[in-house]
């Protein structure tokens, strides 16, 4: 019998321990979400982008030191790292990473969270005074958590399980292993990062200092998520220059940048926009437009899992710009193509599928069915993989991220913690024969 199964059996059999773990998980999670750590995507001059993230980072550093982890560090950019030394097994070093910031897409605090015990499968009134309801009609997937305890907010803020549920799972897993030295494992590194929601988290992440052979971001959604494929991403900026003339004398003279911007939008393939795509289908997306007759700017997203299709999408945009410049005059349209991240699958499939299998088997051994789908977005693990740290993503258990309707089934967060423990206990032998 392998060591991982022994750990799994213990976790499943010791009901009292599980109850203690549940209470500690909930307490820890409630502690973390009490910190307002919304990041600011407009502030790219300071790390972290908001002061609340550094406050939580200092709190985490103190907590990790108090638990007994070693090599606990907090750098000037808000990155927390720590080590759980090996206690009997020598081999590969595994890392676990979660981010401290929460999304700016919904209010971040003050948080008023509560637990809906033994959920009955019906609509959940979040805020009777404001008539805010988490409805099964709008979010039908919640019905599958009937009979479970679910944490929600009062509907005025997000919950913060993205990614404080991940932080909770990692810290709680380390605490468990510290309290159970009979569970043998190799060296483990953990890290908590700022500004993931802005896409800037990996930029200041010191892979060399982290010192892991491979890692997992604990930053996924619902139960069972195992992700190692994400979009290739570019964020083009289109600048359109027009010519303003008094409207009474504009015929044949005015060049309206706003009208050309509308033309640009119409030239994009109709069926290749986010609202029409799913799975591995890529898209073009204009998400912001601003300007006047004289000058108009469009901010865009270009996404595709396939690297060649991704390249062709960028060529398509350049062809559009060239066409409009021929139509309206040289210099009318300028296109800045900004690559943001690439598909981690290009790295993972080249000799690292064993770490995917490790996570897959760990989930199965704690009673979780892996759900392996391509990410229609990005993850820190993508950029970290290209920086030399292969880094798939595993679930936290939360749902409706970036929303006032976010919720967290507590059973799922518990399983995330168990999965981290399972991976940690067998990661050392990856690559051993």
Type and span of the H or E element at 193? strand 188-193
Residues 6+ apart with CB under 8 A from 70: 82, 83, 84, 85
Strand order in the sheet with 408-409: 114-116, 150-152, 408-409
The structure tokens listed for 175 are: 């605490």
Q: Which of 63, 195, 196, 380 is catalytic?
A: 196
Q: Which residues of 102-118 are buried (b: 16+ CB within 10 A; e: fewer)?
A: bbbebebbebebeebee
Instruction: State the Cα–Cα distance between residues 267 and 144, nearest whole angstrom.
Output: 42
Find, among 362, 280, 260, the residue nearest to 321 by Cα: 260
149 labelled catalytic = no
Q: 102 phi and psi, to 5 degrees?
A: -120, 165
101 labelled catalytic = yes
DSSP sequence for 88-123: S--SPPEEEEEE--B-TTS---S---EEETT--SS-
Q: Which of 63, 101, 227, 406 is catalytic?
A: 101
The structure tokens listed for 297 are: 């700017």
Instruction: State the Cα–Cα distance between residues 175 and 403, nearest whole angstrom.
Output: 30
Where in the sequence numbering do the catalytic residues fall?
101, 196
């Amino acid at each position: 019998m392998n060591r991982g199964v022994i750990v799994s059996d213990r976790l499943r059999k010791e009901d009292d321990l599980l109850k203690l773990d549940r209470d500690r998980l909930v307490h820890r999670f409630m502690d973390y979400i009490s910190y307002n750590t919304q990041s600011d995507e407009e502030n790219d001059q300071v790390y972290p982008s908001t002061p609340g993230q550094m406050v939580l980072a200092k709190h985490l550093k103190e907590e990790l030191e108090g638990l007994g982890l070693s090599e606990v560090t907090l750098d000037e950019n808000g990155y927390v790292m720590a080590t759980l030394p090996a206690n009997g097994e020598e081999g590969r070093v595994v890392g676990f990473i979660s981010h401290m910031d929460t999304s700016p897409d919904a209010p971040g605090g003050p948080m008023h969270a509560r637990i809906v015990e033994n959920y009955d499968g019906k609509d959940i009134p979040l805020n009777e005074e404001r008539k805010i309801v988490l409805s099964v009609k709008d979010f039908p997937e919640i019905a599958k958590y009937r009979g479970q305890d679910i944490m929600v907010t009062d509907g005025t803020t997000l919950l913060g399980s993205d990614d404080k549920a991940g932080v909770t799972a990692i810290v709680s897993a380390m605490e468990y292993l510290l309290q159970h030295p009979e569970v043998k494992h190799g060296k483990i590194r953990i890290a908590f990062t700022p500004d993931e929601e802005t896409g800037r988290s990996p930029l200041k992440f010191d892979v060399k200092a982290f010192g892991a052979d491979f890692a997992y971001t604990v930053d996924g959604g619902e139960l069972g998520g195992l992700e190692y494929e994400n979009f290739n991403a570019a964020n083009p900026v289109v600048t359109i220059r027009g010519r303003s003339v008094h409207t009474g004398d504009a015929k044949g003279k005015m060049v309206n940048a706003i009208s050309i911007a509308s033309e640009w939008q119409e030239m994009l393939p109709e069926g290749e926009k986010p609202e029409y795509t799913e799975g591995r289908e890529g898209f073009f997306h204009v998400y912001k437009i601003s300007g006047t007759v004289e000058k108009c700017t469009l901010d865009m997203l270009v996404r595709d899992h396939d690297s060649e299709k991704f390249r062709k999408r960028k060529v398509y945009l350049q062809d559009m710009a060239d066409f409009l410049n021929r139509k309206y005059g040289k210099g009318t349209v300028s296109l800045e193509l900004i690559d943001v991240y690439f598909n981690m699958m290009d790295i993972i499939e080249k000799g690292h599928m064993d770490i995917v299998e490790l996570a897959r088997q760990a989930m199965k051994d704690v009673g979780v069915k892996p759900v392996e789908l391509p990410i229609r977005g990005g993850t820190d693990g993508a950029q970290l993989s290209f920086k030399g740290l292969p880094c798939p993503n595993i679930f936290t258990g939360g749902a409706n991220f970036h929303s006032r309707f976010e919720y967290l089934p507590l059973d799922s967060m518990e399983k995330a913690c168990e999965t981290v423990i399972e991976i940690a206990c067998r990661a050392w032998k990856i690559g051993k024969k």
